[in-house]
A and B are shown apart, each in its own frame.
Chain A
Amino acid sequence: MTLALLPLLQQFVLLLAALVMFLSFVLLAQARLISAIHSFAWQGALVAAVTLTVAVAGETHHLYFSAILTLALKALLIPWMLHRLTRRLGLERHTEDLHWPTLAIMAAVVLVIFSYWLVTPMVAQGLAFTRNIIAVSLAVVLIGLLMMVVRQQAVAQVLGFMSMENGLFLAAVSATAGMPLVVELGVAFDVLVAMVLFGVFFFQIRESIDSLDVDRLNRLTETADPVGANPFATTDEVSQ
């Protein structure tokens, strides 16, 4: 497949999608929380730009609306909420020690290759442009997943979760020219509610383990004593 044969707008979409994926790598390796939130905001803005480009190219009007929705939600509202939360939690200067940063990046590279491998069968169908986009967005989703695995800090995990959603939006917009409006609104609503709940949980977690390092959430294991031996155990609903 030669990229030069694609129409200019499609090439532009691919360029933007590649930048989205690049920002996923940045997010993965960014140790400073505030900078990571900024990278996430840029990623959201790029997804909105992709939506806008597809809207212009395909003259699909409802996509203008979803471009605005994406921009408002992913580039402005959610980063702002995260920003505010980190300030209220006193984490502005928080940097996380990444264990094996090089290994994480290498794993992300492997995930990108895996994504391309997974969608290879589609090449026979002559869906070259879509194949690229689906591979890129799948890679963004999987890197978000990887980020949730390698990061121990709750806010960073939420960033991973939200960047997964960015990958999903990217797939929906560029491979299929947007989902039906009701679905898009529903998904946006769910993401927003999830963000609010994440905010609630940050405080609940900090209250219970005095930190946002979710690695320390390790009370519930198969072998642990449920009640009795453990002084902090749930006495269930019954306090005697």
Chain B
Amino acid sequence: MTPLLLTLLAPLVGGVALALLRPLALAGWLNLAVSALTLGGAVWLAWSVAVTGVIEEMSFRVDAFNVYLVVLTAFVGLTTSIFSRPYMRYVCSTGKLGTGSMRVYHSMYQAFMLTMLVALTTDNLGVLWVAIEGATLATVLLVSLYRTPEAVEAAWKYFILCGVGIALALFGTVLTYFAAQHVVADPGAGLTWSALYERADELNPTVMRIAFVFLLVGYGTKVGLVPMHQWLPDAHSEGPTPMSAVLSGLLLNVALYAVVRLKMLVDGSLAGTATPHLAGAMLMGFGLVSFTVAGLFLHRQRDIKRMFSYSSIEHMGLMTFAFGLGGPLATFGALLHMLVHSLTKSAIFVTVGHATHIAGTQAIDGIRGLIRTQPAVGWSLLLGVVAIAGFPPFGVFTSEFLLLTATMQSQPWFTFALVSGLAIAFAGLFRHLHPMVYGPAPEGQLPVQANMLPVLLHLGLVLWLGLSIPDFLAVWLDRATQLITGTHLL
């Protein structure tokens, strides 16, 4: 048994078992156990990669860049499953979901984890596409799980928009394969990322340029880049809350990971041409537009989950911009930001799940006085938003500071856009947050049973990353930075 095999087999077997398992009480625990096993495999995998450098196994390839995302994915998968067990049982007990829907939920939860992990670890661009499309298919039934007209509409929008986007990404993949045919002798290896990366300078730049446009628009749809973001707030707000946590914390990261891998190929191919930074410039453009537009949209939200999904778009835009900027400092900052954003955002969604449970509504106007009713939930929401808005001493501050520094170094004029964007987003979040946590609680509002362990764990980690990044993690991220940009930061 190799660590990679364990990491991938656990969700596969777990997903099948959960589809067959009838007793509901057991399903939540099994889901948790499978997620724990996956995390065990991921940590073991990370250890092996730290020792050996790169693991190559049956057209899978794990290096410093993807291994940290594998661990992050497995970790958020585990903490969300801890939250989801009592939460989904409660939802089930209200009669909104039948036992059949619960089985679909648990089985698809693991199927989603599997597709994420395959997308991260595969070395084959075609399999990467299949896995990311698979992630859409696994989650689309979960978005419509409650069967309300809104949920069905959100799921249909999600399905169609991501389906179209991902189809364009496949066209880009075909074009990449076409360019590879003149470079890589063995046609079977024409989609192998590592083989292509070695000889990226020989890939036809004209073809790769067109291919990247399709790949960016395609995978960018799943990242949630404006203007292809329309599905994201709907899917996040209408699906079950644990799903929003993993969609925001994981799926968006994986899609961005795919874009960055492909950018590495295109950069290699365009290095000798008149426009060597074309891919980076496109990422910067899309990133900045998403960042700004999402920040503005934050102000007019009236649904709490919609609001935080716009905050996700904003942060994904910032990361996309940073990866586009390139250079070791920006890339290091973007990698760190991926990590802290995932941790913070999934903690926020878990808290939001409890908050909507207390208030009995998702409308921001209806959620009032959380700190009075249940201090744990109120304070978690407050701290989570403080963290995501980029206040010290949380880790988001560190990464955003690094990104601003990097921008100041290479493209000083963009710093204004970034700083004002951050300020706009901050204002948008806090004008809604303030009455929700403070203010008088409506009469008869009672505390609920809430397991705050995942939130504490996530926010604690984010705080730790803000105070001091542990050495092993810094080395880890530095190795990934070197892989992407070719130069060390530390």
Report yes or no: A227 in contact with B204, Cβ–Cβ below 8 A. Answer: no
Report yes or no: A182 in contact with B127, Cβ–Cβ below 8 A. Answer: yes
Per a CB cutoff under 8 Å, which of A168, A198, A225, A240 touches B167?
A168
Which of B88-96, B257-265, B472-480 lies at the binding interface? Answer: B88-96
Report yes or no: A226 in contact with B306, Cβ–Cβ below 8 A. Answer: yes
Determine which residue in B141, B297, B302 has the highest number of CB atoms from chain A within 10 A of its CB, and name it: B302
Any chain B CB within 8 A of the CB of A2?
no
How far is the CB of B370 from the nearest CB of chain A, in Å? 15
Report yes or no: B137 in contact with A193, Cβ–Cβ below 8 A. Answer: yes
Chain A positions within 8 Å of B154 at CB level: 220
Per a CB cutoff under 8 Å, which of B96, B133, B167 touches A239?
B96
A-to-B contact residues, CB < 8 Å = 118-119, 121-122, 124-125, 130, 134, 137-138, 141, 144-145, 148, 154, 157, 161, 164-165, 167-168, 171-172, 175-177, 179-180, 182-183, 186-187, 189-190, 193-194, 197-198, 200-201, 204-205, 207-209, 214, 217-220, 222-223, 225-228, 232-240
Per a CB cutoff under 8 Å, which of B167, B206, B241, B303 touches A164?
B167
Assuming the contacts A172-B174, A190-B130, A237-B241, asked whether A225 and B361 have C-beta atoms less than 8 A apart, the reply is no
How far is the CB of B64 from the nearest CB of chain A, in Å? 26
Report yes or no: A186 in contact with B130, Cβ–Cβ below 8 A. Answer: yes
4 smallest A-B Cβ distances: which pairs? A183-B126, A186-B130, A226-B303, A217-B153
Any chain A CB within 8 A of the CB of B295?
no
In the complex, what distance in Å separates the CA atom of A227 from the CA atom of B237? 12
Interface string of B304-333 (1 = CB under 8 A from A): 001000000000000000000000000000
Chain A positions within 8 Å of B357 at CB level: 237-238
Which of B45-53, B144-152, B376-384, B390-398 lies at the binding interface? Answer: B144-152
Chain A positions within 8 Å of B447 at CB level: none
Report yes or no: A186 in contact with B126, Cβ–Cβ below 8 A. Answer: yes
Interface string of B176-218 (1 = CB under 8 A from A): 0110010000011011000000000000101100100000000
How far is the CB of A112 from the nearest CB of chain B, in Å? 15
In the complex, what distance in Å separates the CA atom of A130 from the CA atom of B148? 48
Per a CB cutoff under 8 Å, which of A148, A167, A239 touches B160?
A148
Any chain A CB within 8 A of the CB of B170?
yes
Chain A positions within 8 Å of B234 at CB level: 220
Per a CB cutoff under 8 Å, which of A134, A145, A190, A238 touches B164?
A145
Identity of the chain A residue whose Cβ is nearest the Cβ of B90 in the assembled complex: A237
* 11 cross-chain CB contacts under 8 A: A171-B171, A182-B124, A187-B130, A214-B156, A220-B157, A222-B297, A223-B300, A225-B302, A237-B146, A237-B353, A239-B94
Any chain A CB within 8 A of the CB of B240?
yes
Per a CB cutoff under 8 Å, which of B126, B148, B149, B204 touches A179?
B126
Q: Which of B48-100 contact A (CB under 8 A)?
A: 59, 87, 90-91, 94-96
Identity of the chain B residue whose Cβ is nearest the Cβ of A228 in the assembled complex: B363
Identity of the chain B residue whose Cβ is nearest the Cβ of A180 in the assembled complex: B188
Report yes or no: A176 in contact with B171, Cβ–Cβ below 8 A. Answer: no
How far is the CB of B447 from the nearest CB of chain A, in Å? 14
Any chain A CB within 8 A of the CB of B163?
yes
Any chain A CB within 8 A of the CB of B362?
yes
Any chain A CB within 8 A of the CB of B238?
yes
In the complex, what distance in Å separates the CA atom of A235 from the CA atom of B151? 11
Chain B positions within 8 Å of A186 at CB level: 126-127, 129-130
Chain A positions within 8 Å of B163 at CB level: 161, 194
Assuming the contacts A164-B164, A180-B187, A240-B360, asked whether A234 and B174 have C-beta atoms less than 8 A apart, the reply is no
Assuming the contacts A130-B178, A237-B357, asked whether A180 and B156 have C-beta atoms less than 8 A apart, the reply is no
Assuming the contacts A141-B167, A141-B168, A175-B174, asked whether A237 and B356 have C-beta atoms less than 8 A apart, the reply is yes
Identity of the chain A residue whose Cβ is nearest the Cβ of B118 in the assembled complex: A186
Identity of the chain A residue whose Cβ is nearest the Cβ of B365 in the assembled complex: A228
In the complex, what distance in Å separates the CA atom of A200 from the CA atom of B145? 12
